[in-house]
Amino acid sequence: MNTKYPIILAITAASGVVYGVRVLEFLLKNGYKTELVISSKAYYIAKYELGLELSHCKETIHRNILNFLKLKTENLKVWLDDELWANPSSGSYRTQGMIIAPASMAVISAISHGHAENLVTRAADVCLKEKRPLTIVPRETPLNTIHLENMLKLSNLGVNVVPPVFGHYAKIKTLDDGINFVIGKILDAHKINNDLYERWHYEEEK
């Protein structure tokens, strides 16, 4: 992955907004241009889970997220999900694909059925039609058959389905280690080099 074209990152209204925020932190700290699409329903969960005020104004979202991450950068562009005229809406706008973290079951259903009626689902639809990488981080448990069928359909279309589940072999001791494991796996799926978690390597017993 190069840093020339932007990556689209969407945060939808599922638990685990931290995953989207931490992917964003990695991308910005590593020089990736990022176009962030915020689901209009995510503000409540972001506030409840992280104390992060997303509001309905993108200038405020832009400022609050960078303050939250203690970052200053020109590489972040924020879009609201009703801005269907935004860059990620068009296949002619070049990107390195899209990550949706967390991805609600509602948004996964809409994408798997081609319902591209807001910017999150339209941008994902564009990635599918342009054969660009698309990674979803589904957050729900337990999963019903509808959820599983929708994800199977997307997986068959080449979408990376990366649930926020960590491997205990990675010597996870804290919640932060677990989150880093998941972020590392999301970035791996999107072929973005990272050392966020301890990778498995076999050691001979002495």
Ligand X SMILES: Cc1cc2nc3c(=O)[nH]c(=O)nc-3n(C[C@H](O)[C@H](O)[C@H](O)COP(=O)(O)O)c2cc1C
| Contact footprint for ligand X (CB under 6 A) | 12-15, 39, 41-42, 44-45, 104-107, 139-140
Pick between residue 46 and residue 128 the one whose CB is nearest to ligand X. Answer: 46
Minimum CB distance to ligand X, residue 80 (Å):
12
Pick between residue 32 and residue 102 the one whose CB is nearest to ligand X. Answer: 102
Grouping H, G, I as helix, E, B as strand and the rest as coil, residue 191 is coil
Minimum CB distance to ligand X, residue 79 (Å):
14
Minimum CB distance to ligand X, residue 15 (Å):
4
58 touches 80 (CB < 8 A): yes
Pick between residue 42 and residue 183 the one whose CB is nearest to ligand X. Answer: 42
3-state helix, strand, coil in the chain (%, to 5): 40, 15, 45
Pick between residue 124 and residue 170 the one whose CB is nearest to ligand X. Answer: 124
Pick between residue 7 and residue 46 the one whose CB is nearest to ligand X. Answer: 46
Minimum CB distance to ligand X, residue 31 (Å):
28
Minimum CB distance to ligand X, residue 143 (Å):
10
Long-range contacts, 157-163 (Cβ 8 Å, 24+): 157/128, 158/131, 158/134, 159/128, 159/134, 159/135, 160/133, 160/134, 160/135, 160/136, 160/189, 160/190, 161/136, 162/135, 162/136, 162/137, 162/186, 162/189, 163/137, 163/138, 163/139
Grouping H, G, I as helix, E, B as strand and the rest as coil, residue 116 is coil
